[in-house]
Each structure stands twice: as C-alpha cells, then as structure tokens.
Amino acid sequence: MSGLKGKAALVTGAASGIGRSTADLLESFGALVYRADVAEGAGLRLDVTSEGDWQRVVAEIPRLDVLVHSAGIATGAAIEACSVEEWRRTIDVNLTGAFLGLKHMLPLMRQNADGGSVVLIGSASGVKAAAGAAAYCCSKAGLVMLAQCAALEAKDGKIRVNVISPAGVVTPMWKELPEVPDRGKNPLERMAFPDEVAEAVLFLCGDAAGGMTGADLRFDAGYTI
C-alpha cells in the first residue's frame, strides 16, 4: 500500500477489535501508529468523550496524517425501556467522541502540505434500523452525516473523510448488541473478522482511495440490501 510509509496515524479504540487490527496493519505498512484507548494497554489513554483528553493527545502528537476513529460502545434497549443516561452515553461515545476527534485533530492534519485521511468506523446499523437498538442506530447514522460535513469543511486542507460501516464483526463488542430477529442475517450468511475490516480501512487511508471523500463504505456482506 503506497503512501503510508513514514506517515503518522492515530487509532482510537486500539486496545481491541477493529481498532487493534487496524493499528497492527497500518504499522505493518510502515506507518508510525499512536494507539489510543480508554482501556489499559494502549500507548495513549483517551476517553473520547473528554475534550481535555483530546487536547492532551494533540499536545503529545507532533504530526498526524491519518486518523482512524474506531472507539465505540454497543448498547441495546427498546425506546420505552432506554434510560436517558444510556441514550446520552451511547451518543456521547459513538458520535460526540468522533466530533471531538475531528475538532481537535483536523487542525493538526491541516499542517501537512499533502493533507491526510480520516476514517470513522460506523455500522450497518446506522443504515438499517433494528428494534431494540435505537440509541446505537442513531449514533451510527449520525456518524455518516458528521463525516460528510467534515469532508466538505476539510477539503481545502486536502483532507479526506470517509466512513466504513461493517455489519456483524467477530469482536467482544458484538456480544453486547441486542438480540433481534434479523441480527447478523445477510446474503453471504457470514460475519466479518476484524482483520478483514482493517484491510478496508487501510484502503481508505491509502493513495488508492485518493478520489474518495464523504463516502460510506458498507462492509456488511449485503446486510443493508
């Protein structure tokens, strides 16, 4: 993959799942990867809902070419049973966290003459509704619009902003999603693995996707058809 060797990348949610696989893959292609997570074990501790944490991370990174925002949580409750606290936490982590990342990282990326690339990890649940998962679905649907707005605002800095929306991925977070009748059913009758999604993220980060911005790449085995 051309264009990544020597580039600096920040990956949130890097302690597990898609984030960890993506960080490993970007490193294997020569990128300097800053791994951030609220969990222990990541190089940078980052609560994506904390503006102070984002400001601290910016101060610790001298340059940024690639931002992969993978941090997120899975929640499930019917609207009538969903507490305001659960709703707000889901929106805060999955959507406001991405907003704060863009707010504080885009200025750093603008310092690069050749721009950069942002990939937000969305979900097929942001496209196809699921009973019992309103907060999660809405948070991921909002992520696509956020990316499109950011793509327009960042174009003058040669910064591309895209989303990848997987369906079921074999990660610990998948087990936390609610059981709904059509959950995980798709034409290919299979789930994805974190390494596969990471390959798609790698594509969006690299030169081969230089003509893509504001796109939602659905890596969902046809779930949203």
pLDDT score of 110? 97
Residues known to be catalytic: 136
Domains of the chain: 47-219 (3.40.50.720)
pLDDT per residue, tens digit, the chain (225 aa), is 457 999 999 999 999 999 999 999 999 999 999 999 999 888 999 999 999 999 999 999 999 999 999 999 988 899 999 999 999 999 999 999 999 999 999 999 999 999 999 999 999 999 999 999 999 999 999 999 999 999 999 999 999 999 999 987 766 665 555 554 455 566 556 677 888 999 999 999 999 999 999 999 998 888 888
Residue 131: exposed, middle, or buried by beta-carbon count in 10 A (0-12, 13-18, 19+)?
Answer: middle
Query: What pLDDT was estimated at residue 48?
Result: 98
Global pTM? 0.91
Q: What is the pLDDT of residue 179?
A: 54
What gap in Å lies between CA 203 and CA 175, rounded to an integer? 27
